[in-house]
Amino acid sequence: MSVVLDLDIFKPEEKSIKLGNKEFDITEIPYEFSLMVYESMPILKKLEAGEILSPEEYERFFNIIYGIFHNCDETVDRKWLKNKITWERFGQLMPVLYSAIFSSSKKNETENAEDSQKST
């Protein structure tokens, strides 16, 4: 059988977040969580502008962070994570996760386009 597209050759730059003596690999965040971050972009913009978020908006972000961290390490539970995240860390996490998801996609699209041009 002929392979049309080999996604296993895609090797993104390794990225991780350290928190509470644990390290979470965020190199490849599953689509489910990427979509959740994308859908939360208006809230992220408010956070970056220094605006106060509603309790519901904070809870939405916490659920995304928890989902990503729990996906990386199934021993992480909500109580542990809430005890490790301070307000300052909370405000830093979402932009980092956004960047890990979306900036690597653009970078890899550019690199793949350049590689395909070299091979022609």
pLDDT tens, position by position, 70-104: 999 999 999 999 999 988 888 888 889 988 888 75
Determine the Cα angle at 9 with ends 7 and 13, to 5°. 105
**Can you tell me the mean pLDDT for 23-49?**
91
DSSP string, 54-80: PHHHHHHHHHHHHHHHHHH-TT--HHH
Which tokens hold the place of 91? 């405000």
How many domains does the chain contain in total?
Answer: 1
Q: Determine the structural domain holding residue 91 and report its residue range.
A: 25-106
pTM: predicted TM-score of the whole model, two decimal places: 0.77
Determine the Cα–Cα distance for residues 94 and 67; give it in Å rounded to an integer: 13
Residue 113 lies in a domain: no
Residue 112 lies in a domain: no
Supply the pLDDT for residue 112. 46
Residue 19 lies in a domain: no
pLDDT band at 116 (very low <50, low <70, confident <90, very high): very low
SS3 16: strand
